[in-house]
Amino acid sequence: MAPLLADYALNVTLVSLFIWVVLFPVLVQGLIVYAIIQARGEKRENDLARTHRD
């Protein structure tokens, strides 16, 4: 019974490490890149609107 629980604990630990060390940072970086792209597009639209107003 003990080896089975140890295997389960190891699996849970490895999956948790994968989530927090690999998956979560990739998700955060993706959201940051998305926000930067959105901000650049909005700036471009604002610049175009400003040139048409002047």
Q: What's the pTM value of the predicted model, to 2 decimals? A: 0.72
**Res. 53: pLDDT tops 70:** yes
Q: Is the pLDDT of residue 2 over 80?
A: no
What distance in Å separates the CA atoms of residue 36 and residue 29, rounded to the nearest whole number?
Answer: 11
| Cα 31 to Cα 40: distance, rounded to the nearest angstrom | 14
Q: What would the pLDDT profile of 4-44 be if each residue is shown by its tens digit?
A: 778 988 999 999 999 999 999 999 999 999 999 999 999 99
Q: Which residue has the higher pLDDT, 5 or 54?
A: 5
